[in-house]
Structure 1
Amino acid sequence: MSYNSLQGNIPEEIGNLHNMNLLSIQYNQLTGSIPLSVFNISRIENIGFTGNGLSGSLPNGLRNGLPILKGIYLSSNKLRGHMPTTLSSCSQLQILSLSDNEFDGPIHSERGRLSNLQILYLGTNHVTGEIPKEISNLVELELLNLWYNSFRGRQNMEIFNISGVRIMYLSSNNLSGSLPPPNMCSILPNIEDLYLSFTNLVGTIPHSISNCSKFTRLELSNNQLTGLIPNSLGYLTYLKLLNLEGNNLTSDSSLSFLTSLTNCRNLSSLSLSLNPLNGILPSLCFVNLFDYSSKWGHVAGNVY
């Protein structure tokens, strides 16, 4: 029943559909709260209410446990309050999507019991506190989105010691500390996208970042990073986006890191604005860095 411009409340009687395993009423105009009866459907595997105007808190009916529930899709609503600890009783949950709501309070350590979780969306809420170290128990996790919240404390990549993580969004939080340690690429061997803008990071970009050979997007803008931009970024041959703007990064007088980036043949967006580079552009850098195609007649990329 998705994309049907449905209005009004979700009726309590929907819980009488005991044999239903999929409930998807996404992208409508539904309002009101989520009825507790939804969580009485013992055979339900996926619940999808994304893109409505639902309000109120997430029902505590999850305490009864939904033994085969695999997906909860509640993003882009007006849900508020703390996320109930009873979510941890959904032992088979693989996807938890709660982003773009008004949830607040901390992430409780019980969330670490969701050992089958693969995708966790909590971005664009008002979640506070520290990111719990128990998140490392989510051994199946591939995508983690915590951006645009109010997480605080020292940013410690050691707590994300999950070999399967490919995509991580931590931007726009009140974190602090230095960039990931030299062994980050052994902690996150499969990382592809890392977003750490507006997180108060200090320190330098380590040369060892080139060991994260699967990087496609690296977003470190608007922090307090210093030191030279390492030439070793040129070893990230799959890189598509590199954003280092709004820091205090420098380079040698020949801006040699730009020459090294000519090895990144997939690079389509490069942002270096608001850094004291103060160098001379390499003579053939822009000819080699971007693909001037006679067939299409345009520059395949963006530089800021």
Structure 2
Amino acid sequence: MTLAGRITQEFGNLTFLVSLDLGSNNFHGNLPQEMTHLRRLKFFDLSFNSFSGVVPSWFGFLHQLQFLNLGNNSFTGSIPSSFSNISTLETLNLNFNSVEGQIPKVIGSLRELKLRGNNLIGSIPLSLSNSSRLEALDLSYNSLQGNIPEGIGNLHNINWLAIQYNQLTGSIPFTIFNTSRIEFIAFTGNSLSGSLLNGLCNGLPIFKGLYLSENKFHGRMPASLSNCSQLQLLSLFGSEFDGAIHSEIGRLSNLQILYLGTNHFTGIIPQEIENLANLMELWMEGNQITGSVPISIFNISSLQILSLWKNNLSGFLPWEIGNLTKMQILQLSGNKLIGTYIF
């Protein structure tokens, strides 16, 4: 409602208040201490404002609080350990603030923990592995270090896991791929290493997105990825994968975006790529792919972006390239293509 100004201390008189939504306004300043009197409060949303100051520790006295959204403000300081006193808390969102320090070892019985875009340091606490109710965890865009805890695979209710653009090392605990409810895994922009095990995606009936780009993974892309029949986005960009792109990729009929650029893939583009009838973006630039550009690619009528530049492709482009009526970006430079074409 574009409301502005500060929250007055009189808010503390609303002691029967159960739900308070002040989100998406222009409020600023600190939250008044008097808000500790709102002991019946269950839903509290202050997101998308300009609140500042340290994250109040008095939230720990709101023992009936279930939903707390402080995202997209200017809160500072560390996450108060008093949050662990709120046994009813299910959602904690501190996305895009200036919160620093380490993640507390225990933060209630959460279903959603979102700490994206802060200044958090240290390692991911092992205690998160015991958060059996956790469904969504986002720790992206911080400065976390160390390994991803092996026990993260014990989060049997998790469906959204994002720990992107930190400084994590070591390998992925592949037990997370045994979690049947998982839909989205994103580890882009770390220093994770190792190879992807064959058997990946076995028993993941609703898995839709895998982001592993900009790490140090190596080895071949496992053919078992094709078992993720609901996969819509696969991103392996900017690592050290090698070997051929297997023909099993054609089984991912729901795939919409495929990022394989800037690796060491070799061999030809498999003809089975034409089975990806829903594909909108295909990125294979910066590899060592050989052979011709298969006609099958130009049968994917939904394709909007095709990036094949800086490979070792040769031969003529087929006239079927005219079938790509939805094409917005076409990158073919840095190859050995021949012939003259008028588009």
Q: TM-score, normalised by structure 2?
A: 0.81
Cα deviation 1:21-56 (Å, max 9, x = unaligned): 111111001111111111211111101110001100
The answer to whether the Cα contact below 8 Å between 1:202 and 1:223 also exists between their aligned partners in 2 is yes
2:329 is the counterpart of 1:299: no
| CA distance in 2: counterparts of 1:44 and 1:84, whole angstroms | 18
Cα deviation 1:253-302 (Å, max 9, x = unaligned): xx3x1x311111110010010011122122x334302249xxxx941575
The answer to whether the Cα contact below 8 Å between 1:268 and 1:302 also exists between their aligned partners in 2 is no
Ranges in structure 1 where 5+ consecutive residues have no aligned partner? none
Ranges in structure 2 where 5+ consecutive residues have no aligned partner? 1-21, 304-323, 332-343
Identical-pair percentage:
29
Structure 2 residue matching 1:13: 3-state secondary structure: helix
Greater Rg by CA: 2
Aligned residues: 291
| CA distance in 1: counterparts of 2:248 and 2:297, whole angstroms | 19
Q: RMSD value over aligned CA atoms?
A: 1.8
Within 5 Å, give how 1:1-304 maps onto structure 2: 1-63=22-84, 65-87=85-107, 90-91=108-109, 93-179=110-196, 181-186=197-202, 188-252=204-268, 255=269, 257=270, 259-282=271-294, 284-291=295-302, 298-299=325-326
In structure 2, give the amino acid aligned to 1:18: R
| CA distance in 2: counterparts of 1:95 and 1:102, whole angstroms | 19
Give the CA deviation at 1:74.
Answer: 0.6
Give the CA deviation at 1:207.
Answer: 2.1
Give the CA deviation at 1:59.
Answer: 0.7
In structure 2, give the amino acid aligned to 1:39: G
The answer to whether the Cα contact below 8 Å between 1:267 and 1:301 also exists between their aligned partners in 2 is no
Runs of 4+ in 1 over 4 A off after TM superposition: 300-304
The answer to whether the Cα contact below 8 Å between 2:301 and 2:325 also exists between their aligned partners in 1 is no
In 2 relative to 1, CA 291–189 (structure 1 residues): closer, same or farther, beyond 3 Å? closer
The answer to whether the Cα contact below 8 Å between 2:117 and 2:140 also exists between their aligned partners in 1 is yes
Which has the higher mean CA deviation after the structures are superposed, 47-56 or 159-168? 159-168
| CA distance in 2: counterparts of 1:209 and 1:303, whole angstroms | 27
